[in-house]
Structure 1
Amino acid sequence: MGLVVVFFIVAGFYADVLWFDQLGFLSVLTTQWLAAGVLFLVGFLAMAVPVWVSIQLAYRLRPIYAKLNSQLDRYQQVIEPLRRLAMWGLPALLGLFAGVAAATRWQTTLMWLNRTEVGRVDPQFHFDVSFFLFDLPFFQSALGFASAVVLICALVTVATSYLYGSLRVSGREVLISKAARVQIAITASIYLLLQAISIWFDQYSTLTDTNDLITGAGYTDVNATIPGRAILAGIAAVVAILFLVTAIIGRWRLPVIGTVLLIVSSLLIGSLYPWVVQRFQVDPSAKTLESEYIQRNIDLTRDAYDLSKIDVVPYNATTTAEPGALRADAETTANIRILDPAIVSDAFSQLEQFKQYYQFPSNLDVDRYTIDGKSQDTVVAVRDLKLEGLNAGNTWVNSTVVYTHGYGVVAAYGNQRTVDGQPVFLESGIPSVGSLGKYEPRVYFGETSPPYSIVGAPKGSKPVELDYPSGTDGAQQTYTTFTGNGGPKLDNVFKKLIYALKFQSEQIFLSDSVNNDSQIIYDRDPIERVKKVAPYLTLDSDAYPSVVDGKIKWIVDGYTTSSSYPYSTPIGLSAATADTENPAQPYALDQINYMRNSVKATVDAYDGSVTLYAWDTEDPILKTWEKIFPSTVKPMSDMSGDLMSHVRYPADMFKVQRAMLGQYHVTDPGSFYSHDDAWTTPNDPVSPPASPTLQPPYFLTMQMPDQKEPAFSIYSTFIPDASGATSRNVLTGYLSANADAGSTKGERSADYGKLTLLTLPKDDTVPGPGQVQAKFNADPVVSTQLNLLKQGQSKVLNGNLLTLPVGGGLLYVQPVYVQSTGGGGYPLLQKVLVAFGDQIAFEDTLDTALNVLFGGVSGANAGDTKVAPSTGTTPGTGTAPGNGTTPDTSTGNPATDAELRSLLEVAKQAMTEKQAALASGDFAAYGAADKKLSDTIAKMLALLGQ
């Protein structure tokens, strides 16, 4: 039985060796094993040896002729047959627990051994910040472990001494033999000495402790707590010496008095005195006395979250839409993304899934590609496998050997849609065709790939892996054979047995589909693969696919984090990154107070190869890990230009930064203390009122007021933080980060990562997202039209509410989708809501809506191919100038006027057909009527010379 258990353990280890070795990261695994193994041995010996020595000394130095009471005599009779086993077994058992505990601290230990200086000192003790990041956590961990060892040694010494008569209780008197006295006193002295050192180090912990006002040492800490801990450390050291004296002279009075003094001092100096200082000195004058320490907290918190270089720009946003105000922002408005990546997944599935064994993620990704020499925002997704779609055909052979990979990238223009509201694809189909050029379309490593697949075959053998559901010469399907290096080879019986055990499948061992050229690929999720080869990284919750250098590459952002940065306020990573599109997820280190996007990682969708690039080369934590795992992280200069052009600013980093900026945009200690200008991220206006979630940030190519040209950016908004009360949903700030990493030339953009915070005037009211959504919902004309859209078997879906700083103010844009509730229905983009200040417009196209608000915008959204402007029979909201009026069709030419009247009747008929089709849920008829209306209006405009 023991051999079977050992074999299973060895099989698991060997499978890990094969996986890491194939991927080229075997050193990562062996370094972890070596470090954990050494620490286990150290922890085992550090616990087992002192405990064994303590038991042996207490037993061997026992009084031979001690007079025992009957109860102890019975105890000895019971224990004596097991004495030898207990004397060796108990230390060994405790050593095992200690070894396991020590082994889990391998990261802390290796970081301390390979620590890197930060180059910045803390403002209180003037240590380099690396002391708090690397040294202090290790020292505190080591002191805690040593204290536990000594405490257990004291307990086993007392127990053994009592059991064998070295320590007796006679009435009120405690009798201790000389040997036991010396042993117990020395053990107590060592324990007190460790406590003295620990209390001394606790001074430094005040710089990461959080109080009611700030994180870090405040006035009370600096003037009472820190000096008090230094005094207590000295008292504990003196008491330790008194215990040594007792070991020599044999009198317990001095250490007992010293211990009582230590306890009383800890109450008076450690607790009471700081309370008195806080209550009677600080609280009455906190704003003044805490000012210096608040400033420390502000400065180091902003530094820890990379906010120190943020560009704050006052933005006197206007709330009145002036004619022609968007002309200066024509390029930004032309790139407004009307395709919502959180809604159009069903449209992608219906139009591009093709077979039931393919699928798209529920939330798609936003990327950009250069099309015809111009950067174009796109909504992208990978066509991945869905084995559940095989239903009865989901056998082991099909799910493991035949259906092994997804196929192709599907990409749609972010600012376009067809006349009936479908996405306009720039890359689609099986085989893939479009504007992205030739690339390897097969996706063996994706977010929903099977747990494992067996791929590869001898040269010349018949392919068995389904490539895509069509073929040549009348074939129903096309098959392929994997030719890359994607997983360990199953080229001998032992490996087959290893993986049959790992995946609990005898088929791996028995099937004739498995041959010596077969490879087994597993751990295929891109984030999971990066997590295994870089265990020190916290990874972004979203890996996004890009076509790079002729391949599909998953791009994953990696963060180095810490909870030990001095004077930096911590944040819950799971709470800060959760929003409508990403639910909260657990993190190994959730409460952090330092974060850097230190690594950009890629995973090849075809062969699963992982590449790590050092992105933040100044990050001391990354530098430390590069010493621990040398040659595993490549320099940023190794990035190709194509890859550089698809790297973007990480969303989770941006979410954390916006959460911190809610309070830390304030740099004045007085205002910070008063909490009179705190902000928060607004709830997503389209999230359920019963369970609201934060509005996610959005990627969009736009031009900020302080920029000379548009750039791919990520942005979010702020409203006042009501601290539990009902918040005023008005805009107070607008945050953006330049997400454009570089060009295809491989040069990193100097503006990448530049944070810009637009601060809005406090004496002017700019509606926030919630307020704008409420106006949309309450407007009588909008609600009437929405009710019309909901008639029949249809439902209306409000898309993402985008906010853009254009036209001298803040422009809101929201696409409106209509989806049939019948089988096979999917969202079609039918309307666009636009707001600027108090004015709103609800039109068929973004271009038309902007024209209604701003009185004409040349080329505002040329990519919006849906052309069906309001003709008067379809009213707007009635709140924008010129909306809802009937155009003048008189030209002075009777023939032309007659033709115009005839076309107007055709347009009215088309609109009637359009509404009827919408009510019945017949979207094919709706699209035909809509095209008829567009063509008719185009003819009318031509007659009018426009």
Structure 2
Amino acid sequence: MRNWKLLPAITVATLVVAIVLYVAFYFVFLDFFVDLWWFRSLEFEAYFWLKLLYRFIFSGAVTAFFFAVFLFHFWIASRYLGLNPPDEILMDDSKRRRFQRFADVFMSGSSKIYTPISLLLAVVIAVPFYLQWEQALLFFFGSASGIVDPVYGNDVSFYMFSYPIYMLIQKELLTTALVVFLATGVLYWMEHVFVPNQSKEFPLGAKVHLAVLFSFVVLFVVWGFLLERFSLLYSAGNEPVFFGPGFVELRYKLPLIWLEVLFFLAIAISAVFYALSEKHRSKTPIIVASLGFLAIWGLQSSHTLPELIEKFIVKPNFTRTEGESIRHNIDATMAAFDLNNIKTVDFQVNVDATKDIEAWSTKKHFENIPVWDREFLIDSYMQLQGIRPYYGFPTVDEDRYFINGHHQQVNLAAREVNIDKLPKEAQNWENTHLRYTHGYGAVISPAAQDAGIPIVWYLRDLNMTSDVGFSVKYPDIYYGLEKYRYAIVPNNLAVTDISSSAPGDSLDYQGNSGISIPSLFRKMLFAFYLKDEKIFFSPNISTQSKVLLRRNIDERITELTPFLHLDKDPYLVVNKDRFYWIQDAYTLSNYYPVSKPAADDYLDGEHKFNYIRNSVKIVVDAYDGSVDYYISDPKDPIINAYNRAYPGVFKTLREMPDELVQHLRYPRDLYYMQMKIYAKYHQNSPELFYEQAETWQFATVDGQSVSPYFITMDFDRCNDLEEFVMINPMTPVHRDNLSMVGIAGTIDENSCDHSYKPGITIFKFPKAVQVNGPSQVNALIDQNPEIAAQFTLWNQQGSEVKKGRMVILTMGNSILYVQPIYMLATKTKIPELARVIVSIGNQVVMDKTLQAAFSRLKDLFIKGANGSVSGISSAEGK
């Protein structure tokens, strides 16, 4: 009968133990060992242990510290300073023994209670530290940047590394001090209630103890007020005019913070003296100080006085009262977004472009101007080079390669595997994880081609055909942009004719990465980890097999280094040995003083930041998945802090192989963001910034913004050296004429070689001269009767005419526009490059080749007669 009564308790205990064991097995044991094996396979085991050590030593030390604080004060309160019997009790033996018995019971009994309570409170207090342990890492390993904030004169590294941790420490220490003060007070009160024969007054020791604890509370509150001063550096109250503290913040709110400190200290000191003094107690100092503090608090909370200051002092003379604050905002934002090294060139535009056309007609490799847009080209790649149903091209990249004696811009894409494209009945476990495990090869085509002919291929087909010298030893792509599932290779399946078109090629995986499965025990563990029992029971998995995990490169990098933020456009690089992915990575901070925060459309839109650096270039081997980190901005204090914290993880850019250095580029996302900010902040005087008369915006065509695009061209800066740059045109706000063309490249103009030295050059056009913007050139194209008639004819022949990206180039003292025209077949939707339109000034011509169109444009300017040469060639009719 008794056993039946115990059954519910036994059942509950069994369930609890089972749940604990399940959680421990799946979320501690399995995750820990799989992560360890995975990091070890990438040769990052030391980094794995170091991360673990930092996280748990830091959180453990914090927990131990707070536990000691709670335990120490509770112990003192219960053992030494609280008991206060009158003298007559101590002189009477029976009463003294009775008092001592109660005291002993209280002290020993309370110790059993406050020890676990201290541990529980310490864990709760330490949780925020555990969650922000990486910020603490920057605090310990960060160093001075050498840049001083203009308001308080602190190094900006104080705000990026120390200030966030100080705010966290202040909050947690204040909470701890309040809890200890209140709990200790309750403990003293309980002693007087439960231990008999106590005197009415607290003993002096107890009063001193409580006074010390109260002083700690005061100290941490005052520290909070002092830290509040720095929050003014991130004030958004003056937007949209400027960001940061202005006249009201520095002349009104900052003095109020100092007055808050003074009145609060007055309240605290008065309260302590009142509590400790036994005679001549007066509440007047406390009342006066409290009223003063409440008055200051009311002034801080009120909006009336700041609005009156704005109305009668600031706005009547805005640039004088706020000029210094605007200057601080401009300087900080330019520094935080790395805009101080922009080179500005005043571009003088010639109305007569004849000389420029003649000079550029003989320019070397003029045909390198790209006329194939990757947005259109991906459909052609899919239709013409997908070849197998399970292959696809997630994206098309641009790059430059040394081909036919010069650097030529190309489009290229990796042929990756996508199991979802197989028939449903073929999407089984064996095909998914053992057979269709990787992509194969890539396609490359020149970005500049003639119209009306099939696409020219530099690398094509599964046999990797190339007429220009491309050859790859390991063309298999196990890691890429697709959403790869786990794969187990090599295995016992006889897989033939899936990737290579040559039946004799070996398909066995020979890479070093991947987690080996040398035993049935590890096989069982992976079956549990991946929640797939087929791993354990499959006879096709051998002791030579390896499990490949986290094969999407974004997922792979994020798992390794979650503190780096990734550019949305990783790109493929072709090497003689294999394919590589290069991923640009950023370090961010939201604590750069007085810098305007980035908008939500930058990067992933989830991280708020007002400081960014492209501090790391990451190289991922597409064959074996190895990951290498190279510091590309050694001046960045954040990446230097991580480099000190994790020695051996990051390499210098000098250690990167030369064949990869030659393919580094200026990041697309970073350039877009910088130009969006520079569009306003290039007005670098407070007066211009306040007027906003020269604010720019991204140029538009048909309502769509012209995003930065790549081009490879000799810009006469480095002795015929062709540069791979990004170009970005901008127009005045609400206007369509061109204000500037920005060029972002990586060439070192001093040494004139391909060593990596990123920089931006802005070509500014005079405000007195009309320079057509992309939208105006697009209107000229639409208004050309011959071109319009040709478009109408094509649209009636079962095809759809599409305009490609408009390419803008500075050409001597003229601006050249090039726009490709595509025809999309109604049935196949394969785009065909039909024509190329070239425009300078108000002249527009269209032809099959760029050179032919340019020659006819030259004739237009030389003859000087708008109607003497048609805007479309005589051969265009059919």
Both structures adopt the same fold (TM-score exceeding 0.5): yes
Residue 277 of structure 1 deviates from its aligned partner by 4.6
What secondary structure does 1:415 align onto?
coil
What secondary structure does 1:425 align onto?
coil
Paired letter, 2:225: I
Paired letter, 1:325: I
Contact 1:730 1:768 in 2 (8 A): yes
Contact 1:646 1:741 in 2 (8 A): no
Residue 712 of structure 1 deviates from its aligned partner by 1.2
Contact 1:737 1:756 in 2 (8 A): yes
- Aligned pair count reads 816
Q: Which one of the candidate residues 612, 615, 621 is aligned to 1:598? A: 615
Paired letter, 2:854: L
What CA deviation, in whole Å up to 9, does each residue of 1:433-457 have, x standing for no partner?
Answer: 2132343211011111522100125
What is the TM-score with the length of structure 1 in the denominator? 0.79
In structure 1, what is the Cα distance between the partners aligned to 2:753 and 2:522?
A: 45
What secondary structure does 2:448 align onto?
strand
Compared with structure 1, are the counterparts of its residues 237 and 511 closer, same or farther at alpha carbon in structure 2 (3 Å cutoff)? Answer: farther
What CA deviation, in whole Å up to 9, does each residue of 1:117-139 have, x standing for no partner?
Answer: 21222233332222222122221
1:248 aligns with 2:276: yes
Compared with structure 1, are the counterparts of its residues 344 and 242 closer, same or farther at alpha carbon in structure 2 (3 Å cutoff)? Answer: same
Compared with structure 1, are the counterparts of its residues 415 and 229 closer, same or farther at alpha carbon in structure 2 (3 Å cutoff)? Answer: same
Moved more, 129-138 or 317-326: 317-326
What secondary structure does 2:172 align onto?
helix
Compared with structure 1, are the counterparts of its residues 682 and 500 closer, same or farther at alpha carbon in structure 2 (3 Å cutoff)? Answer: farther
1:766 aligns with 2:771: yes
Structure 1 unmatched ranges of 5 or more: 66-81, 168-174, 578-584, 722-726, 859-877, 888-906, 916-946
Compared with structure 1, are the counterparts of its residues 114 and 323 closer, same or farther at alpha carbon in structure 2 (3 Å cutoff)? Answer: closer
Q: Which one of the candidate residues 251, 263, 267 is aligned to 1:235? A: 263
Contact 2:725 2:745 in 1 (8 A): yes
Residue 350 of structure 1 deviates from its aligned partner by 1.2
In structure 2, what is the Cα distance between the partners aligned to 1:886 and 1:133?
A: 61
Paired letter, 1:812: Y
1:200 aligns with 2:226: yes
What secondary structure does 2:445 align onto?
strand
Match of 1:145 in 2: 172
1:715 aligns with 2:727: yes
Match of 1:802 in 2: 807
Matches within 5 A, 1:397-408: 397-408=430-441
In structure 1, what is the Cα distance between the partners aligned to 2:192 and 2:872?
A: 106
Matches within 5 A, 1:578-617: 585-587=604-606, 590-617=607-634
Residue 185 of structure 1 deviates from its aligned partner by 6.3
In structure 1, what is the Cα distance between the partners aligned to 2:47 and 2:270?
A: 49
Contact 1:560 1:596 in 2 (8 A): yes
In structure 2, what is the Cα distance between the partners aligned to 1:652 and 1:465?
A: 41
Contact 2:845 2:871 in 1 (8 A): no
Residue 511 of structure 1 deviates from its aligned partner by 1.0
Contact 1:229 1:270 in 2 (8 A): no
Alignment RMSD: 3.6
Residue 497 of structure 1 deviates from its aligned partner by 2.6
Contact 2:581 2:619 in 1 (8 A): yes
In structure 1, what is the Cα distance between the partners aligned to 2:203 and 2:780?
A: 87
In structure 1, what is the Cα distance between the partners aligned to 2:364 and 2:674?
A: 28
Contact 1:337 1:700 in 2 (8 A): yes
Contact 2:367 2:850 in 1 (8 A): no
Contact 1:641 1:746 in 2 (8 A): no
1:829 aligns with 2:836: no
Match of 1:3 in 2: 21
Match of 1:348 in 2: 381
Matches within 5 A, 1:8-157: 8-9=26-27, 10-45=29-64, 93-153=120-180
In structure 2, what is the Cα distance between the partners aligned to 1:666 and 1:315?
A: 18
Residue 669 of structure 1 deviates from its aligned partner by 1.8
Q: Which one of the candidate residues 740, 749, 760 is aligned to 2:755? A: 749
Contact 2:818 2:839 in 1 (8 A): yes
Match of 2:869 in 1: 882
Match of 2:103 in 1: none
Q: Which one of the candidate residues 848, 854, 861 is aligned to 1:850? A: 854
In structure 2, what is the Cα distance between the partners aligned to 1:408 and 1:742?
A: 35
In structure 2, what is the Cα distance between the partners aligned to 1:466 and 1:648?
A: 37
1:432 aligns with 2:450: no
Match of 1:787 in 2: 792
Match of 1:209 in 2: 235
Moved more, 596-605 or 135-144: 135-144
Q: Which one of the candidate residues 694, 698, 703 is aligned to 2:709? A: 698
Residue 320 of structure 1 deviates from its aligned partner by 5.1
What CA deviation, in whole Å up to 9, does each residue of 1:660-704 have, x standing for no partner?
Answer: 111111122211122221112234x36xx5xx5x43211101344
Residue 525 of structure 1 deviates from its aligned partner by 1.8
In structure 1, what is the Cα distance between the partners aligned to 2:860 and 2:408?
A: 24
Matches within 5 A, 1:149-228: 149-153=176-180, 188-212=214-238, 213-228=241-256
Residue 609 of structure 1 deviates from its aligned partner by 0.5
What is the TM-score with the length of structure 2 in the denominator? 0.85
Residue 509 of structure 1 deviates from its aligned partner by 1.7
Residue 317 of structure 1 deviates from its aligned partner by 2.5
Residue 407 of structure 1 deviates from its aligned partner by 0.7
Contact 2:472 2:576 in 1 (8 A): no
Residue 52 of structure 1 deviates from its aligned partner by 6.8
Match of 2:519 in 1: 492
Residue 336 of structure 1 deviates from its aligned partner by 0.7
What secondary structure does 1:207 align onto?
helix
Contact 1:51 1:156 in 2 (8 A): no
Compared with structure 1, are the counterparts of its residues 32 and 271 closer, same or farther at alpha carbon in structure 2 (3 Å cutoff)? Answer: farther
Contact 1:612 1:633 in 2 (8 A): yes
In structure 1, what is the Cα distance between the partners aligned to 2:176 and 2:448?
A: 65
Contact 1:841 1:849 in 2 (8 A): yes
Paired letter, 2:267: V
Compared with structure 1, are the counterparts of its residues 428 and 87 closer, same or farther at alpha carbon in structure 2 (3 Å cutoff)? Answer: same
Residue 395 of structure 1 deviates from its aligned partner by 1.0
What CA deviation, in whole Å up to 9, does each residue of 1:217-252 have, x standing for no partner?
Answer: 434434343343233233333333334334423869
In structure 2, what is the Cα distance between the partners aligned to 1:500 and 1:596?
A: 42
In structure 2, what is the Cα distance between the partners aligned to 1:416 and 1:532?
A: 41
What CA deviation, in whole Å up to 9, does each residue of 1:850-909 have, x standing for no partner?
Answer: 233222899xxxxxxxxxxxxxxxxxxx9675016997xxxxxxxxxxxxxxxxxxx8xx
1:263 aligns with 2:291: no
Moved more, 694-703 or 767-776: 767-776
Matches within 5 A, 1:346-495: 346-361=379-394, 363-391=395-423, 392-417=425-450, 419-420=452-453, 422-434=454-466, 435-448=469-482, 450-457=484-491, 464=495, 468=499, 470-472=501-503, 480-495=507-522
What secondary structure does 2:618 align onto?
strand
What secondary structure does 1:432 align onto?
coil
In structure 2, what is the Cα distance between the partners aligned to 1:498 and 1:719?
A: 60
Contact 2:256 2:296 in 1 (8 A): no
In structure 2, what is the Cα distance between the partners aligned to 1:148 and 1:19?
A: 40
Residue 830 of structure 1 deviates from its aligned partner by 0.8
Compared with structure 1, are the counterparts of its residues 178 and 854 closer, same or farther at alpha carbon in structure 2 (3 Å cutoff)? Answer: farther
Compared with structure 1, are the counterparts of its residues 853 and 36 closer, same or farther at alpha carbon in structure 2 (3 Å cutoff)? Answer: same
Q: Which one of the candidate residues 574, 588, 597 is aligned to 1:570? A: 597
Q: Which one of the candidate residues 320, 323, 331 is aligned to 1:299? A: 331
